[in-house]
Amino acid sequence: MTPDPPTATYVQPSPDPYAGMVMPTYSGCNATNYAVNSGQTPTISPGVFCGGITVNGGGTLNLNPGTYIMDGGNFDVEGNGTVNGTGVTIILTSSTGSNYGIVKLAGGSIVSITAPTAGATAGIPGVAIWADRNAPNQSNTFNGGTTENINGAIYLPSQTVNYSGGSATSVNGAVTKCTQLIGYDINFTSNSYLTHAYCSAMNLPVRDPVAPPKLAS
């Protein structure tokens, strides 16, 4: 890792910049255990997906702008599965308080997701993926490697994040330029690529934590 600025250890915890964000209300199911199989290329609209969404290898899922709520299920993209979405927020929660889902982006998956921009009327500006803070600590995998580009906040406050994605080159017209990771634990493996330098240029209003105070000499 070559962080810029350098990492600091033994400092006060930074406050959660999304602590005041309120889970949107929802009811019912627009689909249950929604799956995209090999050879299928559906385009879907925002809604409540009870049991989550699975994109199998060889399938392509296109997401219209807005909020996609996984009620008690995973957002799962298998190897050689493809997901495209601009102006999209994916939320993992549970109406029953159990069976909270996780994010599973397998190696070889092709994922290009960009959060809604500032002022967007659909989705949550700046937030690409959000896991309910009431969910237990589970492991989420972002293993898309160089075919994974997620721009916006990945907010998993009570969860473990295993990240080996991101690319500086275009994937389906998207490039990793503004990724923010917030999790209980974050593990970087393989050739991970993450940059947070172009959020303003992309008009993505991610909320950076306030830096802890420093003693003046």
- Number of domains into which the chain is organized: 1
- Residue-level pLDDT at 30: 98
Residue 114 falls inside a structural domain: yes
Q: Are 66 and 88 in contact (CB under 8 A)?
A: yes
pLDDT confidence tier of residue 202, bands split at 50, 70 and 90: very high
Give the number of other Cβ atoms within 10 Å of residue 57's Cβ.
15
| Separation of alpha carbons 145 and 166, rounded Å | 6
SS (H, E, C) 36-97: ECCCCCCEECCEEEEEEEEECCCCEEEECCEEEEEEEEEEEECCCCEEEEECEEEEEECCCC
Share of the chain above pLDDT 90, in %: 75
- Residue-number span of the structural domain to which 97 is assigned: 31-188
Does residue 20 sit within a domain? no
- pLDDT value, residue 171: 73
**What does the alpha-carbon distance between residue 173 and residue 179 come to, in Å, rounded to a whole number?**
16
183-194 mean pLDDT:
86
Say if 18 falls within a structural domain: no
Which tokens belong to 72?
């008690």
Residue 47 covered by a domain: yes
Residue 39 is assigned to a structural domain of this protein: yes
Q: Is 210 among the domain residues?
A: no
Under DSSP, is residue 142 helix (H, G, I), strand (E, B) or coil? strand
Q: Is the pTM of this model over 0.85?
A: yes
Nearest to 194 by CA among 159, 152, 156: 152
Report d(CA 214, CA 217) in Å as an integer. Answer: 9
Q: Which amino acid is at 181?
A: L
pLDDT, position 213 = 62
The Cβ of residue 44 has, within 10 Å, a number of other Cβ atoms equal to 18
173: pLDDT strictly greater than 90: no
Instruction: For residue 199, tell me if it sits in a domain.
Output: no
Percent pLDDT > 70 in the chain is 96
The predicted pLDDT at position 212 comes to: 62
pLDDT recorded at residue 192: 82
Domain assignment of residue 215, yes or no: no
User: What value does the mean pLDDT take over residues 118-128?
Assistant: 96
Q: What is the CA radius of gyration of the chain?
A: 17
Mean pLDDT computed over 182-197 = 87
